[in-house]
């Protein structure tokens, strides 16, 4: 009972003491207004920049994923087994053979599916109507115009001319490419490529439409033609290199693939082996279902590297903020050594002095973090609403990022709160070091300081 009483009394005394120290710390904040203002500004600036940078980095990743889904990968894809690993070689011998069976199975399950044939070729143009002769190696895609528009956003990206019609010897090129070639709708092009069996092939086509997407990788490297034309000239015998699927998903990579598996299973399409084709038809081969994450694993790895680079920048920002805060606190503490000596001489214990300074620093940190949070929120609002236009700088820069130059931020409350709390805690912690140094000296030495 005595122990409890004593403990309660002690507890009460400690609370009163802490309150007194907190009040003292608060008074000190107003006593040294200029110092407080400078330190608060430094912390606020650091927190706001950190929040803005993190928002832009998240925005870059989100934009990249969105552009991958909309123009390159869709939510998922069915390919010949092993095709995705070799896709940069654009092999025409790893295919989905019985396209009709797969597409019908998916469409019966209300899943939009777009078959595509991807191949490499050289696009050749000649003086008149073009300003000069030229050629460029490009990625080329045979697409089913109607089905492709249900899965990808290419049709919405058309800015001139018309979308593709089946059976038409027409191609879509990007505005970026059209500008560099001096091309317009209606101009002829020659395409040289190889058939599925490796023979040289030449196609004479006309430009029927010009598109512009926010995905620079697509704009700078891809042209499109009707699937039946590609099938005929490449002698694909009905096979395609991939069937892309549109699935409901709140963010890229979140789609549930189970309905796809179920739809294929219901139709008797085996994911490890496609249905056998008849004589003279496409050869049967193993097919696989790839998720967005599987298709973008390399891109994600590249982004992780970029993330790491950005993380270093953020870390440096943090270090600068911490050093700034430490320096200000160090100066604040050192210039008050006599005061500390006085407090010790009057009987204030080292722990109490330490606590008082920690409260004072944390107070500065809290005010700075709160202002930084407000500034950061304003910055994120601007970034999400207007973005930052890098297009002039990145016009001819080769890069892996799938964004067209205007970088938008995204809201990340978790990052914002982490940054603010982190700054406040750090500010409190960095005061410990100089205080500890002074407390090691004798009281008389401290009192002699000017």
Locate 147 and state its tokens: 């089905």
Answer yes or no: are the C-beta atoms of 326 and 332 closer than 8 Å: no
Answer yes or no: are the C-beta atoms of 243 and 102 closer than 8 Å: yes
Nearer Cβ to another protein, position 233 or 292? Answer: 233
Helix (H, G, I), strand (E, B) or coil at 347: coil
Minimum distance, C-beta of residue 380 to another protein, in the bound complex (Å): 46
From the list 82, 127, 159, 312, which residue makes contact with another protein (rule: CB under 8 A)? 127
Minimum distance, C-beta of residue 144 to another protein, in the bound complex (Å): 22
Which range touches another protein (CB under 8 A), out of 5-13, 38-46, 118-126, 158-166?
118-126
From the list 197, 265, 273, 298, which residue makes contact with another protein (rule: CB under 8 A)? 197
Nearer Cβ to another protein, position 206 or 235? Answer: 235
- Residue 118 pairs in a beta bridge with 141
133 binds another protein (CB under 8 A): yes
41 binds another protein (CB under 8 A): no
From the list 203, 329, 364, 371, which residue makes contact with another protein (rule: CB under 8 A)? 203
From the list 35, 66, 120, 169, which residue makes contact with another protein (rule: CB under 8 A)? 120
**In the block, which residue shows the tokens 């009972």?**
1
Q: Strand 170-174 relative to strand 188-194: parallel, antiparallel, unpaired?
A: unpaired
Nearer Cβ to another protein, position 201 or 306? Answer: 201
85 binds another protein (CB under 8 A): no
135 binds another protein (CB under 8 A): yes
From the list 81, 201, 350, 418, which residue makes contact with another protein (rule: CB under 8 A)? 201
Q: Is the dihedral of CA 233, 238, 242, 248 positive or negative?
A: positive
Answer yes or no: are the C-beta atoms of 48 and 375 closer than 8 Å: yes
Which range touches another protein (CB under 8 A), out of 198-206, 220-228, 286-294, 436-444?
198-206
Nearer Cβ to another protein, position 202 or 316? Answer: 202
350 binds another protein (CB under 8 A): no
35 binds another protein (CB under 8 A): no
Q: How far apart are CA 169 and CA 183, in angstroms?
A: 16
235 binds another protein (CB under 8 A): yes
Helix 432-440 with 297-334: angle, nearest 10 deg: 40
Helix (H, G, I), strand (E, B) or coil at 134: strand
Number of residues that bind another protein (CB under 8 A): 24
Minimum distance, C-beta of residue 281 to another protein, in the bound complex (Å): 17
**In the block, which residue shows the tokens 């003086």?**
127
Name residues contacting another protein, limited to 15-34 (CB under 8 A). none
221 binds another protein (CB under 8 A): no
Nearer Cβ to another protein, position 82 or 351? Answer: 82
Per DSSP, helices labelled H in 267-349 are: 292-295, 297-334, 337-345
89 binds another protein (CB under 8 A): yes
Buried (b) or exposed (e) across 155-188, using 16+ Cβ within 10 A? bebbeebebbeeebebbbbbbbbbeebebebebe
Q: Is the dihedral of CA 177, 178, 179, 181 positive or negative?
A: positive
| H helix or E strand, kind and range, residue 447 | helix 443-448
| H helix or E strand, kind and range, residue 140 | strand 134-143
Binding site for another protein (CB under 8 A): 89-91, 120, 124, 126-127, 132-135, 190, 192, 194-195, 197-203, 233, 235
């Amino acid at each position: 009972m005595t122990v409890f009483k004593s403990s309660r009394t002690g507890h009460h005394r400690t609370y009163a003491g802490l309150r007194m120290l907190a009040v003292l710390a608060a008074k000190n904040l107003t006593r040294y207004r200029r110092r407080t203002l400078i330190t608060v500004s430094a912390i606020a600036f650091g927190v706001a920049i950190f929040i803005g940078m993190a928002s832009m980095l998240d925005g870059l990743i989100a934009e990249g994923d969105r552009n991958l889904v909309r123009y390159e990968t869709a939510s998922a894809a069915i390919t010949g087994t092993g095709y995705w690993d070799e896709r940069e070689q654009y092999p025409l011998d790893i295919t989905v053979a019985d396209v009709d069976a797969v597409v019908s199975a998916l469409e019966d399950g209300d899943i939009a599916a777009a078959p595509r044939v991807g191949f490499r070729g050289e696009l050749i143009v000649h003086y008149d109507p073009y300003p000069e002769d030229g050629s460029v190696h490009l990625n080329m895609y045979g697409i089913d115009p109607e089905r492709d528009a249900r899965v990808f956003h290419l049709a919405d990206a058309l800015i001139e001319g018309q979308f593709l019609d089946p059976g038409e010897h027409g191609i879509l090129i990007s505005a970026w490419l059209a500008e560099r070639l001096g091309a317009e709708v209606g101009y002829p092009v020659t395409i040289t490529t190889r058939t599925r069996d490796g023979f040289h092939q030449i196609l004479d086509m006309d430009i029927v439409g010009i598109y512009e997407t926010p995905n620079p990788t697509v704009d700078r490297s891809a042209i499109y033609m009707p699937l039946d034309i590609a099938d005929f000239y490449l002698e694909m015998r009905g096979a395609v290199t991939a069937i892309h699927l549109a699935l409901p998903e709140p963010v890229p990579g979140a789609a549930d693939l189970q309905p796809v598996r179920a739809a294929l299973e219901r139709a008797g399409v085996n994911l490890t082996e496609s249905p056998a084709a008849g004589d003279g038809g496409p050869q049967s081969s193993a097919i696989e279902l790839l998720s967005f994450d599987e298709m973008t694993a390399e891109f994600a790895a590249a982004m992780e590297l970029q993330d790491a680079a950005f993380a270093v920048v953020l870390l440096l920002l943090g270090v600068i903020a911490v050093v700034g805060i430490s320096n200000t606190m160090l100066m604040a503490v050192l210039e008050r050594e006599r005061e500390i000596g006085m407090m010790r001489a009057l009987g204030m214990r080292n722990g109490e002095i330490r606590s008082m300074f920690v409260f004072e620093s944390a107070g500065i940190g809290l005010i700075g973090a709160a202002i930084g949070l407000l500034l950061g929120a304003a910055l994120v609002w601007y970034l999400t609403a207007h973005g930052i236009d890098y297009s002039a700088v990145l016009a001819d820069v080769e890069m892996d990022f799938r964004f067209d130059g205007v970088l938008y931020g995204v809201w990340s409350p978790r990052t914002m709160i982490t940054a603010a709390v982190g700054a406040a805690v750090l500010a409190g912690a960095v005061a410990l070091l100089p205080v500890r140094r002074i407390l090691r000296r004798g009281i008389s030495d401290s009192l002699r300081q000017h």
